[in-house]
Amino acid sequence: VQADGTDGNCVTFVLHDEDHTLGNSLRYMVMKNPDVEFCGYCITHPSESKINFRIQTRGALPAVEPFRKGLTDLLGVCQHVLNTFE
């Protein structure tokens, strides 16, 4: 869901069937990007299993780019932990 009145640098993504485990980890990975001005998430109600995940970037970088990079980086970290554990 794209926020109204913006050109793509401020977007709220809705992640279904997720909770704080993914939300906080993904927020950490996205905030490591120096082009991200704000990143946060909220769970609208405890009985709903969805996250509103908001990213705002500096300049002309579309918010979907740090979102994808954050997911890719988080996947890499999880794979490293799994390989180390095994």
- Please report, for the domain that includes residue 59, its CATH number: 3.30.1360.10
Q: How many domains does the chain have?
A: 1
Q: Which domain holds residue 17?
A: 3-85
Is the predicted pLDDT of residue 8 greater than 80, yes or no? yes
User: Which three-class secondary structure state does DSSP give residue 15?
Assistant: strand
Q: Say if residue 78's pLDDT is above 80.
A: yes
Residue 85: how many CA atoms within 13 Å on its side-chain side? 6
Residue 3 has pLDDT above 80, yes or no: no
Q: Quick check: 1 pLDDT over 60?
A: no
Q: What is the mean predicted confidence (pLDDT) over 40-51?
A: 91
